Each structure stands twice: as structure tokens, then as C-alpha cells.
Structure 1
């Protein structure tokens, strides 16, 4: 069995720690800051077996060097050679941990950045800044087409897959989602659920693929009601699919 611990960092980042119940080993995902990771390691007497990186932005890799200085034998996985010793992974690669008891497949999901990858299996998706709850990452280095394709691909994963994204952006995303999809009853219920969690000081993440397909406007670009409402908001004709996604992303950038 494996458990995923939430490590808050900076203002709204999440670093994920995958803990093996049969040992004191763990895998750390996108450690932008070493300090909160080291606190958890000391408190629970854990040893890092590997670090997996989704993309090169500093708030995802800033703590790697300090963690490696503590233990240079940690394996680091990324798409680019960001550090001296990196195991390079690319499309359809598989990475295994804890004596091969935990395996993730890798997909390329360029859009937010060109080097962005995700790690997933039937239970878990670590998607960095590609998919957020009720939102998606800004398109910095890639194109709208690339981000749309990436999100479309992630939406094909099992409904029960837990989505571990890297930021607590959910409430802000929900404000935008309600603007563009106001008649979505699933969205209205989710807003109440997230509000309760945040009032209690609890994270809104992980979410699930099933939930995101129901409430995330960036995964609902073929929904007639959403497309019609967006057309009214922007006062121009918009086609479903990629054109709707591009219009949504541009609108959100300036929202």
C-alpha cells in the first residue's frame, strides 16, 4: 500500500510525497522547496528513493539540489537534464519504485511548458501545472492546440484516477468556471464542497478525473450550454472543441 502526503509550500504550491507502507522509503513529486520536505522526512523517519519532476519551473525544482546534497543516491526523473544526474524519461516511458511495487507511465503534455510530462497509473495522476481542479495551466511555451490535446488525453484516464496537481487554485478557478458555465449543477455542488474544505483549512486536492470532466470548463469544450454561454459573454461565434478551449484560455488569462 502507498499513501500520498500533502506538503504545502510557498503561497499555494503542493509538493507530493508518496510513502511506501512496507518500508520507510518515499518518492517526492516536484519539490520546489526542500525545507518542508526535510521536516516531513525527519518527523516520519523517511528516506527519499526518488524525485520525479513534471517540468522545469523553479517552484517545482527549487528544492532538488538541497535534497540531493542530503542524499546524492536519490534518483531524479525528468524530461530534461536539469541536474547533473537525471534519469531522462519521455513519452510512454515507465518508472518503477519500491522494488517495482509502484509503477508510473509517462506522457508528454506540452502546453504549459514544452518539457511538461505527467506520471500516472490507474490510481494516481501527478500532473504538475497541466490540469488543475476546475482549471488548467497557462500556456507559456506551447500552443493552445498542444494544451487542448494534453487535456483531452488526460480526460481519457479512468474516472476514479485521483488528480494530484501542484497548486491550490481551485476556488479562484471556480469563480471563472461559474462565469462560463453557470447552469452546471455539478459545478454548483462542487463549489459548496470546496468552500467547506477550505473553510476547514483542508486542501481541495486531490480531485478525480470523473469530477473534473463534470465541472472543469477546459474539459467541457464540447458542452452546448457552455459554448453558447461563452459566445454570449464574448459576443462572437465560437465552435466547440479547440476553438472553445482557445477562447476560454484567453478569457481566463485576462479574467
Structure 2
């Protein structure tokens, strides 16, 4: 007799299914309330505003704080020319579609819980879903590591992975793409790049999650974990390394762990129904 879903949850997580379901419901309700009280698009609104000019005037965690390189603003420029409601809807839809796809890589019993982990990124409209794509496909498509490198710099842990494993071709592709994109952006808006570098050099006012674990400690931990993962050939550790190495320690960043089933190759296996007739080879007479 096959084990029930309740039995699997109790065995693998050490909790009873009602507790897991209640946790998912509470987590989902929390972000639903945030969305209903004006939190929807808190981060993505800053991206949309870049069509009016790239400014580094607000500290992290503040409304309309744009923190990334000018290259990101240039890359999404066509989208920012749309109205804010349309931009917000498209951005949320892209994030939702990405996380739904990753959740489908997991066994069916875990899909809702995995998707629930991603609600913070979907509601706030951050860029963690782009990092999730880099984690999932960047080891085979190294150019994707230009995304975290040009957005938040330190989460580009894939570059360390390639260097430790001496995958020089992949490292060269990733760095070349990042440099090329940055060069084009610099040619378009050199003053914006000067402003961004000045912003990074002067630092920013820390907000409470950053005060929990100092930035240098987290980045060093993320890099060390990447080195260990590369030497042991354990790409499933990269989501944790990327999250730790992020300049801002955000709870919404746990969305990147949605790629774990994909990295582990945890695909649902299609089982033929008993009612389906089996194919019979024709008899040789």
C-alpha cells in the first residue's frame, strides 16, 4: 500500500500535515494583507520610475529606492514606457510564471508550499525570480550570471563556482557578457554610472535585517559556501550562497530556494494507469 501524503509530510518534515497547511495558509495570508494595504509593487515601482531618470537618492528599504546598476534600467526600458498598472502586472506575471514552473519540478505534494515561499518576491516585485533563473540555468548558460552581477554584484556566486572548478570558458563567457552590457550602458549614460559607483562607495543607512548579520560576514559566508559547493559538486548549495551574499538580507530572498527541486532533478514521474492497456508486441508467425 502506498504511503499517504500525510505520512510523507510527517516523515520528511517532522511535522503533522495540518501544521504545514496552517503555516502555508498563514504565510499566504500575510502577503495577501501586504498586497491589499499598498505593499504590492513596492520594489518594482522603483524600476518603473527609471524611465523618468536613474536616480540614487533613497536608501534601501525606502519607497522608490532604485539600487541597481544603470544597465538594468536600460534593459527594462521598453517595459517602463508602459503605464504603471500594466508594468506591475507584467512584472508580477513573469515572476509568478517562473515560480510556478519551478514548483512544477517538485513532487506534487510540495508544490503549493514551494510556491508559497515565493509570494514575497511576487508581491513586492523584486528581482529574485531573475536570480532563480540564473541559478537554474546559469551553470549551463554562463551568460546568465551577468544578471546578478549587474544588479547586486555580490550574488554572482556562479563566477566563483566557475573559478574554483577551473571552468575558464564559462567564467570568460559570464564576465565578457557582463562587461559588454555594462560597457554599452556606460556609453549611453556615463553620469548614471558615476552616480551609482558614488552611491556604493558611500554606503547607505542600514535597515533592521542588515543589522542582524553584518554585510561582510554574510558575503564571506556566501562565498565560502560557494567554494565548498564547487569543490564537492553540490549546486544545490548555491541558492543559500546567493541569498547570503546578497547586499541586503531580505526574507523575500528565500524565493530562490524554489529552484532546489529543479537542481536536484526531483521530477514527478509519470505512472501509467492500471486501466491503460499495455502494448503487446505482435506475434511472429
TM over 0.5: no
The structure richer in strand per residue is: 1
Question: Normalized against structure 2, the TM-score is what?
Answer: 0.27
Higher relative contact order, chain-length normalized (CA < 8 Å, sep 6+): 2
> Bigger radius of gyration, 1 or 2?
2
Q: Which has the higher helix share?
A: 2
What TM-score do the two structures reach when normalised by structure 1? 0.29
